[in-house]
Structure 1
């Protein structure tokens, strides 16, 4: 796959209050090393002006999402496992629990597709069920 890629990240959160969707499409970088797919891209979060650098490490059964900038977090998704991380913002840190239910990885010569289903807790309180879809295609 090309080094320059288009990355589309779609998220869905379902809770008692309904469903909320988020979608980001951006250009980023891709490389493959030590049996892992690496994606890097920048985004500007609501209420901030400085970009956040996102690094995704993807391999079968495992996805790591690392954000650095105005917010810092390292979220680890492991097939059928629970993990805890701290989402650090300018306003303080929030404990986030992730209960990964399913990770699907489809690797193709010029594309990469990832699906993650998981439950979320914040400060030990259930927030809802979520899913992330990551689609990577060559840029240009």
Structure 2
């Protein structure tokens, strides 16, 4: 895969009987090191001119997401394991628990497909069941457009 990529992220949160979907497309940088895939991209913060720098590190059994900027966090998703982290926002810190149920990584020559299913808790209380689906494509061959 090329260094310059387009990233499509779709998040689904299920809280009781309601579902909320969020989707975004962003340009990014891709590289591979020691069998792990890395994706860097910036995320716009709605209502401000600030951005959040994101780094995703994924292999077949785990994914790490590091956020730096107006929001700061280091979230670890490991299959069948619960991890806790502090999610720092301008309004204060939240203690977040992540219990990954499944992590699927499909790598091809010019793309990556990643799907993570997990339970999300905040301050030790279950908040939602979530799914993150990501598609990363070489910019030159991408079927995505900004």
Q: What is the TM-score with the length of structure 2 in the denominator?
A: 0.93
Matches within 5 A, 1:19-58: 19-58=19-58
Question: Which position in structure 1 is the counterpart of 2:70?
Answer: 70
1:135 aligned onto 2:135: yes
1:98 aligned onto 2:95: no
Note the C-alpha offset of 1:48. Answer: 3.4
In the alignment of these two chains, the number of paired residues is: 140
1:18 aligned onto 2:15: no
Residues 48 and 70, structure 1, Cα contact 8 Å, conserved in 2 = no
In structure 2, how many angstroms separate the alpha carbons of the residues matched to 1:28 and 1:99?
27
Unaligned regions of 5+ residues in structure 1, if any?
none
In structure 2, how many angstroms separate the alpha carbons of the residues matched to 1:126 and 1:46?
26
Unaligned regions of 5+ residues in structure 2, if any?
141-146
